[in-house]
């Protein structure tokens, strides 16, 4: 009986630990980039959707931006279309663009909306074409000093955030597919991390959270210890020291860019951990790496 009571008390302590964060974040916008293994594993899918729904019910304004690379790959394989990548970006010809839009907007987006609605949320699916939400132009990769044509890959020129704001500040959860639109009405495929960062900046979000398949920024290459919080200067120093390298560099630089454009805090967390959003947002230490301009705590007991 005692151990059962101890377990109940611990649950109460967890709720109390969350209280100052709930107070601080009530009414604030949180942009979540949903991707990686959390989109593939059914248990993790449910866990993330539960977290997002809970955020809405306790007074935050979550905005979801999703990727969908694996689903696009499956669809391209079915149509026997080969994928080519340059600097991590998919070369997107007209056939690939048609399939990417079909998968991201017609399938992946609606599946996420359906899951959130099933959890009791009220989700609305959008893409950058709706209301000219994401205006863009053709992006060209620079490789060895030369501009390389990637086809219908977009570079964001403007986020028209009014539509998202209207939805998010009401009772709904916007779910955004990373498809943009050019001045001529042409659709473009855009990196989902980039879309999430630009939307967070346009909304002046309190938080930008990137769900990934990595734990966060490590102390060094030989360590498994995650750095819970970094300033922008500290993060840039770690890039210079090559502690942060490879695919982590664009994620960290994306976070820094969002911070410089007005986002309060940014987070890189492991989406493979059940209820990763709640663990990062509502516990003193969190589970991933938070990057911020200055280490200013929300309240006195927060560990930065």
Residues at the binding site for substrate are 68-69, 90, 189
Residue ranges for the binding site? 68-69, 90, 189
Cα separation, 82 vs 73, in Å, equals 9
Report helix, strand or coil for 228.
coil
Please answer whether residues 152 and 94 qualify as being in contact, where contact means their C-beta atoms are separated by less than 8 angstroms.
yes
Buried b (16+ CB within 10 A) or exposed e, 275-286: ebbbbbbbebeb
Nearest to 29 by CA among 133, 172, 129: 172
Token look-up 């955004």 returns 176
Cα separation, 282 vs 15, in Å, equals 9
Token look-up 């979801």 returns 64
Which pairing describes strands 123-127 and 173-177: parallel, antiparallel, or unpaired? parallel
């Amino acid at each position: 009986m005692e151990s059962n009571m101890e377990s109940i008390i611990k649950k109460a302590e967890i709720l109390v630990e969350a209280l100052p964060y709930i107070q601080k974040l009530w009414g604030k916008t949180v942009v979540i980039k949903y991707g990686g293994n959390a989109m593939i594993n059914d248990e993790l899918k449910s866990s993330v959707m539960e977290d997002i729904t809970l955020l809405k019910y306790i007074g935050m304004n979550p905005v979801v931006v999703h990727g969908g690379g694996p689903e696009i790959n499956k669809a391209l394989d079915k149509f026997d279309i080969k994928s080519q990548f340059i600097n991590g970006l998919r070369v997107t010809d007209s056939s690939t663009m048609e399939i990417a839009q079909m998968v991201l907007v017609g399938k992946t987006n609606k599946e996420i909306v359906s899951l959130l609605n099933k959890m009791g949320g009220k989700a609305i699916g959008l893409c950058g074409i709706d209301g000219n939400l994401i205006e863009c132009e053709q992006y060209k990769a620079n490789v060895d000093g030369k501009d390389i044509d990637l086809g219908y890959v977009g570079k964001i020129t403007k986020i028209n955030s009014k539509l998202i704001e209207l939805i998010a500040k009401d009772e709904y959860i916007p779910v955004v597919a990373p498809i943009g639109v050019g001045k001529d009405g042409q659709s473009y495929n855009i990196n989902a991390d980039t879309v999430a960062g630009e939307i967070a900046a346009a909304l002046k979000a309190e938080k930008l959270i990137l769900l990934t398949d990595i734990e966060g920024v490590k102390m060094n290459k030989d360590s498994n210890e995650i750095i819970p919080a970094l300033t922008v200067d500290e993060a840039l120093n770690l890039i210079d020291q090559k502690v942060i390298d490879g695919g982590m560099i664009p994620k960290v630089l994306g976070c820094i860019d969002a911070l410089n454009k007005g986002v309060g805090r940014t987070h890189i967390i492991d989406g493979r951990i059940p209820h990763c959003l709640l663990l990062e947002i509502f516990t003193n230490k969190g589970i991933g790496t938070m990057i911020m301009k200055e280490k200013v705590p929300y309240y006195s007991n927060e560990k930065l």
